[in-house]
Structures are given as C-alpha cells and as structure tokens.
C-alpha cells in the first residue's frame, strides 16, 4: 500500500521540472508510505512513489518498478488478491525475482497491456509508463477502493498530465494552483461527498472513475487520449455460493508479511469478517471506538461481546468532544478536503492506535450494506417509491438522501455562488445518468436502486476508509468490497438480500450464514458503525465558521447564522457548512501557511 505521483508529457517536449519538485510532491504522501521512497525520470516523465511495505518488505518491492532496463515503469498503490493465480497464468517466462505483487502487476501489464486490469482481483490505482511505445496507462480498481486524481494542463508552456494519490501532492507542483469548483462545492453540500463521479471540489482536477482504464498516446505534439474503458463488477466470474465466496474473500485478504488486525464495531459486518478470519490466525487484535457514556447497546459494548466470543485481543477507544474537534480539523488540513462522515475521525484515531501497537494492516466491513441491502430505511423508501410508480428514480435518490436539499440552495448559497453552481443541474444530471446505467440489466427495479447504492454510496465510504487509515500509515482492507464477492452478491435473488416481509429484513444471506456463529444479539443488531454525538460537538467549530472570508463569499448570512446559533438542531446543514469553512481556510485563508506541517504532526 503506497502513494504515487507523476508528471508526463509527450515526445515532442522535454519535461523541465525545477530540482526537487518531484520529491516534494512525492513526500507530501509520506504518511501513505513511510517505509521507502523512490523516483524515476527521463526527458518526458517524472514518477515518484512512497512505500508502505506489506508483501515482501525487502528492496525487491521498491518502486518505481522496472523488470528490464529497457522496459516500462510502474508506480502502483494497492494489493492483488489473485496474485498467485496471475503468476500461474503468466508462466515461467515472467521470471519472478520476489514475492511482491508489484512485480506480478508489472508482468501482467507487460503481457496483456490495457486488458490486464480485467484480470485483476484487488484494490489498486496505477500508472504504467512505456517510454519505448510512447504511452501512459492510468487505472483504478472497479469498486473505487484506491484513489487517483488527474490534472491535465500546461506547465511552462509544456502540455502535461499530472496525477497523484492525494490532492495536496498535486498542488505542491508549481503551476498547478488550487481553485474551487462551485459545481463540486454545491454537490458536497447535498451529498457530503468530496468526489461525485469524476468531479472533485477543485477546478481542473478530476478523479479517475472506479474501474476506469485510460491510455494516452505520447508520440505527438501533446498527450492524446486513445482509449478509455471501464472494468465493471461481474467481469470476473464467480459461480460460488455466497457463504463460500465470502469465506474465500476474507481468507485472501489475510495475506500479509506484517502484523494485521481488524476494526470491530460490534455490528454484523465487522463481526462476520472477524469470525471468518479468526480460525486462520494464531491471534487477532480488534479495535473499536465510541463515545461516552457507554450503554449495553452501543458499539463499545457490542464489540467487547464479539471480541470475547471470538477470543480476540481487544482495544476500546472512548472519544470526547475535544478529541473529535482536534482530529476533524487536523484531518481536513492534512488531506486537503472536507470530511465526509463524522466517524472518519474515529476510524483515523483507531488507526493511529493500531500503528502505535505495531500493526500495519486492518480489515474493515465496508461494502456489505451496498451489496446486500443493509440500509433498511433507504431500501424501504426505494420500495415505496417503486410502488408509487418509480418516477425519475435518479432524482429520487438525490432528493431523498440530501443533507442540504436542492430547493434550499438558493437561500443557503450566496447569489454569486448559486449562479456558479448552476442550480445543481450538473448534480441532477449525474444522478439521473448514473441511475440509468445501474438500471441496465438489473433484475428488478429494487435491484437497480441497490446497485445505485453500491455505485455511488460505497465509493464514498471506501474513500473515507482510505483517507482515514492511510493518514495513519495503515492499510485498510475490505473483504466485502471485493469484485468477485460483489459479482456473487449481485447474482443473488433480491429475497436473499432485502425483503420487507422477511424476518431478517436486511442482509438476509449474511445473517443466515452467521446465525450459528455469532451471538443472536449481534446477528439481529441494527446497522451501526462507530456513531458519535457529533451534533453536540459542533458548537465550537460552528462559532469559528463565520470568521472565514471565503465561507462568507459562498454561504449566505442566514445559513451561517443558523449554523452558528443552533448547529445541534440544524446539523444536516451545519456539518457540511462547517466542513467547507475549514476546507476554505486550509487553502485560501491563514491556515494555508500551516498545512504543510500537519501531516508530520498527525502520523
């Protein structure tokens, strides 16, 4: 697990970076890779890499990676869970020198080119530069577990493609300046997602889509896109029954040459992962976070129950308001984007505790709800919408889940900001188009709504885990968010996933599989994931929100007054507004001068 950066131009130009620029960009990602740093350059490309060594920690896994001096160069962030199968397919001609999956991936790309991602089972973001053939390939895993941001523009008159695992690394390059994209800012107010589709909150910077594979021709005057494709769930065949497919996924996610642990909220998803992992391990350390006061039904108590049942070493972390606020502000400064959900702070603090305990990898339960219909209220609302005629289902998904409703935007945004946001037409079109894609070949209208949850909601949650864990130099692994298991789950009848009339109601196949393996109170427990009383903890940050010149240029005085006077009452409005204030201060206020020191203080 690592961090990558790169700047590439075409054959017609030479890349003339100031000395040290690549290293500054690369080392802005030091928290993603504290175990090593590498750089590679030629006249047309500069590639940088920070390494968190998980498989084969020896120098054989060093990146940027080349198997031959005259060959292509790879920088890669991720893990392959079908590494052994790929090595078998590649055969003896590959001449492997290590057990590191980076080497496997390089040979797969060398052999199969842009068809290689279709054969991968894992999480990844990669850049593959082939100087001999004058091409660049960028790719991201199909569920969007690992991020990759791309900027195309001109530096000192030279057309370039620049990319990085995190946004602050891009902006360390002179000539790439952060500027807000009001379409993305307004989308965040409604969705609390910093990325919607390929749109980020920064003008000119896009996110590679989940499963996207793009190839650029570098032989001409400027880089030219010659191919753009998507690897989708279902392309990697899996005919196994759900329970055996889940056990297989968990087992594959345990491969590690460094200490591994697990996040355990005491809910069904994380408990099922721990129950499946425990027999394969000599020991397992689990971690849970929660807020005081404790009671018998909260995460801390439920996680302790599961830990005792499974025989894991267990750490509980109790958060208070001071910890929450400090971590919230620190994460925003370090990552350069607002938080999405409040419990990102809890995940990050747990990962910091893991790192102090010598761990390097953690298992986490993201994905079960989106694959198996785990969100009872949204699924019930979707079923009711279908019963009423299922009119404009994409718009229904947007309006029924918005934090700041679209019809309030004219009063929440300033007139200038509202004009720049174009009345959220882009966001509405994105939801409609995405739902139409999800409805293609769906087995039922409800299956289309559930696929939408996986396509949109899950990508955001996986981004949350990546940011919160990698900021603490911990690799987060998600056995549910596995392309083979996702294909298996999608093939299940809806009656095995969600059914209002079924006694188990949600995640039926998963609850059925663990009825005899976990306590009944856990199998039947409603959805929970490190919930925090953040509504009560926003008063201090809310008071500071109106001090920002930038936020006053974006948010109306009336909305700021509601945010500062009663954030606990208007929390669905206050949470994204305060986050935007912190974000704006980080980039365009006094906080910008302090941001470069934040990562070192965080890890």
Domain CATH for 197? 3.60.20.10
Q: Same domain, yes or no, for 16 and 101? A: yes
The residue with greater pLDDT, 240 or 118, is: 118
Closest CA to 342 of 324, 358, 321, 330: 324
CA atoms of 544 and 499, how far apart (whole Å): 45
Mean pLDDT over residues 224-230, rounded? 90
Mean pLDDT over residues 29-45, rounded? 96
pLDDT band at residue 297, thresholds of 50, 70 and 90? low
Closest CA to 182 of 427, 431, 434, 407: 427
Q: Same domain, yes or no, for 147 and 69? A: yes
Q: Same domain, yes or no, for 205 and 226? A: yes
Q: Same domain, yes or no, for 248 and 331? A: yes
CATH number at 332 reads 3.40.50.620
512 in a structural domain: yes
Measuring CA to CA, how many Å separate 422 from each of 184, 305, 399, 425, 429?
Answer: 11, 51, 17, 6, 12
Look at residue 603 and tell me whether its pLDDT is greater than 50.
Answer: no
Contact (Cβ atoms closer than 8 angstroms) between residue 91 and residue 73: no
Q: Same domain, yes or no, for 191 and 308? A: no
Closest CA to 352 of 186, 440, 471: 471
Mean pLDDT over residues 5-23, rounded? 95
CA atoms of 558 and 539, how far apart (whole Å): 17
Check residue 529 and give its pLDDT. Answer: 65
507: left (phi over 0), alpha (psi -120 to 50) or beta: left
pLDDT band at residue 235, thresholds of 50, 70 and 90? low
Q: What is the pLDDT of residues 381-407, one digit of tens each?
A: 999 999 999 999 999 999 999 999 999
pTM of the prediction? 0.96
Question: From start to end of 511-587, where are the E strands?
Answer: none
pLDDT band at residue 521, thresholds of 50, 70 and 90? very high
Contact (Cβ atoms closer than 8 angstroms) between residue 52 and residue 360: yes
> Token pair for residue 225?
């896109």
CA atoms of 532 and 292, how far apart (whole Å): 9
The residue with greater pLDDT, 366 or 531, is: 366
Say how many Å lie between the first and final Cα of the chain, rounded.
16
Contact (Cβ atoms closer than 8 angstroms) between residue 9 and residue 218: yes
Mean pLDDT over residues 514-538, rounded? 88
Split into its structural domains, the chain has a count of 4
Question: From start to end of 321-421, where are the E strands?
Answer: 361-363
Contact (Cβ atoms closer than 8 angstroms) between residue 299 and residue 528: yes
Closest CA to 201 of 182, 218, 220: 182
Q: Same domain, yes or no, for 214 and 279? A: no
**27 phi/psi in degrees, rounded to 5:** -80, -10
Contact (Cβ atoms closer than 8 angstroms) between residue 445 and residue 431: no
> Token pair for residue 515?
């009825």
pLDDT band at residue 296, thresholds of 50, 70 and 90? very low
Measuring CA to CA, how many Å separate 355 from each of 138, 285, 287, 442, 462?
Answer: 30, 12, 12, 42, 20
Angle 280-270-311 from CA coordinates, rounded to 5°: 50
Percent of the chain with pLDDT over 70: 96
pLDDT band at residue 238, thresholds of 50, 70 and 90? low
Check residue 593 and give its pLDDT. Answer: 46
CA atoms of 286 and 316, how far apart (whole Å): 9
Domain coverage including residue 28: 2-230
- For 405, residues 6+ apart whose C-beta sits below 8 A from its C-beta are 190, 399
Give the dihedral sign, CA 55/61/62/66: negative
461 in a structural domain: yes
504 in a structural domain: yes
CA atoms of 102 and 79, how far apart (whole Å): 8
303 in a structural domain: yes
> Token pair for residue 392?
């404009």
Q: Same domain, yes or no, for 62 and 89? A: yes
Q: Same domain, yes or no, for 255 and 276? A: yes
Q: Same domain, yes or no, for 299 and 329? A: yes
Check residue 492 and give its pLDDT. Answer: 93
Contact (Cβ atoms closer than 8 angstroms) between residue 351 and residue 472: yes
Please tell me what DSSP assigns to residue 413.
Answer: B
Among 191, 207, 230, the domain-final residue is: 230
> Token pair for residue 569?
């009452």
Among 197, 230, 263, the domain-final residue is: 230
381 in a structural domain: no
Of 50-64, 493-507, 519-533, which range is least confident? 519-533
CA atoms of 414 and 186, how far apart (whole Å): 11
Contact (Cβ atoms closer than 8 angstroms) between residue 33 and residue 77: no
Look at residue 303 and tell me whether its pLDDT is greater than 80.
Answer: yes
Contact (Cβ atoms closer than 8 angstroms) between residue 336 and residue 201: no
Element (H, E) at 579: helix 571-588
Mean pLDDT over residues 338-355, rounded? 97
Closest CA to 7 of 61, 43, 31: 43
- For 47, residues 6+ apart whose C-beta sits below 8 A from its C-beta are 4, 5, 6, 39, 40, 41, 64, 73, 75, 127, 129
The whole-chain average pLDDT of the chain stands at 93
The residue with greater pLDDT, 294 or 250, is: 250
pLDDT band at residue 332, thresholds of 50, 70 and 90? very high
384 in a structural domain: no
Look at residue 343 and tell me whether its pLDDT is greater than 60.
Answer: yes
Three state DSSP letters for 99-166: CCHHHHHHHHHHHHHHHHHHHCCEEEEEEEEECCCCEEEEEECCCCCCCCEEEEEEECCEEEEEEECC
Look at residue 476 and tell me whether its pLDDT is greater than 80.
Answer: yes
Q: Same domain, yes or no, for 87 and 170? A: yes
529 in a structural domain: no
The residue with greater pLDDT, 351 or 291, is: 351
89: left (phi over 0), alpha (psi -120 to 50) or beta: alpha
Mean pLDDT over residues 417-424, rounded? 97
Check residue 361 and give its pLDDT. Answer: 98
Among 230, 255, 271, the domain-final residue is: 230
Look at residue 443 and tell me whether its pLDDT is greater than 70.
Answer: yes
Look at residue 236 and tell me whether its pLDDT is greater than 90.
Answer: no
Mean pLDDT over residues 289-313, rounded? 85
Peptide bond into 293 cis (omega under 30): yes
144 in a structural domain: yes
64: left (phi over 0), alpha (psi -120 to 50) or beta: beta
Mean pLDDT over residues 465-472, rounded? 98
Q: Same domain, yes or no, for 69 and 172? A: yes
Look at residue 349 and tell me whether its pLDDT is greater than 90.
Answer: yes
Mean pLDDT over residues 577-598, rounded? 78
Check residue 294 and give its pLDDT. Answer: 57
Q: Same domain, yes or no, for 411 and 549? A: no
CA atoms of 472 and 55, how far apart (whole Å): 19
Residue 214 bridge partners (DSSP): 138, 228
**Which string of DSSP letters, residue by residue, matches 150-199?**
EEEEEETTEEEEEEESSHHHHTTSTT----B-HHHHHHHHHH--S-BTTB
CA atoms of 331 and 34, how far apart (whole Å): 18
Look at residue 601 and tell me whether its pLDDT is greater than 80.
Answer: no
């Amino acid at each position: 697990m690592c961090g990558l950066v790169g700047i590439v131009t075409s054959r017609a130009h030479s890349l003339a970076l100031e000395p040290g620029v690549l290293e500054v960009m690369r080392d802005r990602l030091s928290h993603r890779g504290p175990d090593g740093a590498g750089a590679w350059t030629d006249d047309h490309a500069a590639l940088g890499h920070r390494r968190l060594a998980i498989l084969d920690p020896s120098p054989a896994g060093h990146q940027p990676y080349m198997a031959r001096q005259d060959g292509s160069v790879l920088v890669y962030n991720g893990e392959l869970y079908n590494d052994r199968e790929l090595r078998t397919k590649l055969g003896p001609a590959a001449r492997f020198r290590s057990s590191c999956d980076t080497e496997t991936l390089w040979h797969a790309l060398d052999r199969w080119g842009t068809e290689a991602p279709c054969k991968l089972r894992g999480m990844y973001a990669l850049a593959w530069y082939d100087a001999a053939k004058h091409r660049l390939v960028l790719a991201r895993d199909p569920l969007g577990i690992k991020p990759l941001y791309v900027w195309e523009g001109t530096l000192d008159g030279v057309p370039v493609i620049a990319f990085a695992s995190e946004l602050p690394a891009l902006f360390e390059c002179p000539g790439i300046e952060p500027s807000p994209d009001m379409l993305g800012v307004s989308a965040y107010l409604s969705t609390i997602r910093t990325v919607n589709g390929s749109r980020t909150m920064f003008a000119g910077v896009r996110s590679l889509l989940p499963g996207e594979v793009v190839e650029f021709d570098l032989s001409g005057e400027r880089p030219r896109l010659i191919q753009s494709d998507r690897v989708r769930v279902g392309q990697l065949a899996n005919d196994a029954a759900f329970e055996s497919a889940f056990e297989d996924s968990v087992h594959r996610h345990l491969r590690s040459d460094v200490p591994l642990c697990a996040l355990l909220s005491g809910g069904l998803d994380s408990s099922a992962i721990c129950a499946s992992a425990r027999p394969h391990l000599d020991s397992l350390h689990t971690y849970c976070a929660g807020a005081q006061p404790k009671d018998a039904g909260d995460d801390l108590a439920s996680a302790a129950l599961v830990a005792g049942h499974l025989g894991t070493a267990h750490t509980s972390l109790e958060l208070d308001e001071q910890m929450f606020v400090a971590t919230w502000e620190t994460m925003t400064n370090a990552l350069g984007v607002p938080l999405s959900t409040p419990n990102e702070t809890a995940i990050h603090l747990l990962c910091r505790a893991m790192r102090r305990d010598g761990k390097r990898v953690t298992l986490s339960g993201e994905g079960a709800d989106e694959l198996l219909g785990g969100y009872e209220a949204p699924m019930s609302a979707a079923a009711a919408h279908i019963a009423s005629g299922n009119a404009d289902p994409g718009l229904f998904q947007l309006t029924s889940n918005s934090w700041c409703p679209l019809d309030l935007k004219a009063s929440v945004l300033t007139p200038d900001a509202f004009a720049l946001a174009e009345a959220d037409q882009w966001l509405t079109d994105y939801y409609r188009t995405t739902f139409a894609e999800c409805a293609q070949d769906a087995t039922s209208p409800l299956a289309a709504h559930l696929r939408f949850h996986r396509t949109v909601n899950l990508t955001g949650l996986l981004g949350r885990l990546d940011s919160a864990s990698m900021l603490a130099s911990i690799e987060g692994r998600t056995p549910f968010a596995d392309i083979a298991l996702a294909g298996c789950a999608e093939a299940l009848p809806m009656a095995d996933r969600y059914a209002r009339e079924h006694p188990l109601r949600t995640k039926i196949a998963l609850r059925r599989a663990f009825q005899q393996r976990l306590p009944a109170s856990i199998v039947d427990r409603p959805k929970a994931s490190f919930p925090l009383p953040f509504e009560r903890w926003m008063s201090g940050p809310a008071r500071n929100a109106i001090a920002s010149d930038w936020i006053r240029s974006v948010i109306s005085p009336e909305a700021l007054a509601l945010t500062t006077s009663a954030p606990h009452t208007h929390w669905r409005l206050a949470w994204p507004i305060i986050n935007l204030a912190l974000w704006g201060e980080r980039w365009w206020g006094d906080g910008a001068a302090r941001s470069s020191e934040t990562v070192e203080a965080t890890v």
